[in-house]
Amino acid sequence: MPRRSLASRALTQHYDLEHPNDLIETVLFTEGLKRVLQTTNGSQIGNGVDDRQVVLVASGREG
């Protein structure tokens, strides 16, 4: 039997003026009482144009 997650999720996409072909995505995970478990955002890190890296930044609890 497949394992099902008890958390619900919502995905929002935001327009980025500096990168119009690359949307900013935010994922919000909630539990059964609609309390937020975790928020995840796409982000770029690096100190210049040549070494930018796209990563996911999560806040909240894990698991």
pLDDT of amino acid 52: 75
Nearest to 63 by CA among 25, 37, 27: 37
Query: CB-side exposure of 10: number of CA atoms within 13 Å?
Result: 9
pLDDT of amino acid 56: 81
SS (HEC) of 17-55: CCCCCCCEEEEEEECCCCCEEEEEEEEEECCCCCCCEEE
Answer whether residue 28 is part of any domain: yes
Answer whether residue 26 is part of any domain: yes
Answer whether residue 3 is part of any domain: no
Give the domain extent around 30.
8-57
Domain count, the chain: 1
pLDDT of amino acid 4: 60
Answer whether residue 2 is part of any domain: no
Tell me, yes or no, if the pTM score tops 0.75: no
pLDDT of amino acid 18: 80
DSSP classification of residue 6:
S
Answer whether residue 53 is part of any domain: yes
pLDDT of amino acid 42: 80
- pLDDT tens across the length of the chain (63 residues): 555 666 788 888 988 888 788 888 888 888 888 888 888 888 777 776 677 777 888 887 665
